[in-house]
Structure 1
């Protein structure tokens, strides 16, 4: 039996991506640090074998640091031997705090949308995890048709 967490099982929509994040993260209690976790999906929905936590991210989004994710995305694409446009950058902000999406989370979503999607044209999404649940804040704009 194949687990839905296995990287070879395709993620084909926002609900499946949310479930993937729930499986990848430890949702047994509040995280000890604020982290931005990065993962990449190939065009067919399978995951690249790379999960990178960026620890101790600030409450307010660091727009310069977000801009540097474009370089990291390009490096992952090169390692995968594909063009950057062929990968989806899935982001998950892990943080302590109340369940649901708060003003700080919306600020992160706005920054990701403005910088990564708007300025740099990356296909990306953002989820928020509080140690108990994981919710999409910035869903993927479109999913490839199988």
Structure 2
């Protein structure tokens, strides 16, 4: 595992999905608990030296929770001068996206579009590693 120094982050662009996945593997790794991680990127897809774990997010995206999260992301992006955000859903299950995982990811993606938040991607940290949540997994919810 090669965890980059925060001072090096502006020089290490995350140009591809594999770059993003590798960074998440290095920093978050396999799931240890249920929480959400937020990585903020600049216009050049370089990670800003701010990493935010969110240990207590609602169990369901319903009742406006996805919209509230998207609004919070919009405010954080503005405050940090970020351009995009990477969202990592950490939970101690296998690598298959559950209905709840897919619902959170789909509703957050829609809420972010509405709020003008640019998602670079959403990943799943599971008990054996990290994987990308592909957009086609979110269809049909």
TM-score where L is the length of structure 2: 0.76
Q: Tell me which residue corresponds to 1:67.
A: 67
Partners of 2:133 and 2:100 in 1: how far apart? 12
Count of aligned residue pairs for this structure pair:
129
Partners of 1:87 and 1:138 in 2: how far apart? 21
Quick one: which of 92, 96, 112 aligns to 2:92? Answer: 96
2:24–2:130 contact (8 Å) kept in structure 1 = yes
Query: Does 1:123 find its partner at 2:115?
Result: no
Structure 1: tracts of 5 or more residues without a match? 140-146
1:7–1:47 contact (8 Å) kept in structure 2 = yes
1:36-47 matches, within 5 Å, as: 36-47=36-47
Partners of 1:116 and 1:78 in 2: how far apart? 14
Partners of 1:10 and 1:132 in 2: how far apart? 26
1:1-146 matches, within 5 Å, as: 5=4, 6-8=8-10, 9-27=12-30, 30-32=31-33, 34-62=34-62, 64-80=64-80, 82=81, 87-117=83-113, 119-124=114-119, 125-138=121-134
- Taking a change above 3 Å as real, the CA distance of residues 96 and 75 of structure 1, as seen in their structure-2 partners, is same
**Cα deviation 1:99-142 (Å, max 9, x = unaligned):** 2222221111211121112x112111211111321111156xxx
Structure 2: tracts of 5 or more residues without a match? 136-141
Partners of 1:97 and 1:58 in 2: how far apart? 18
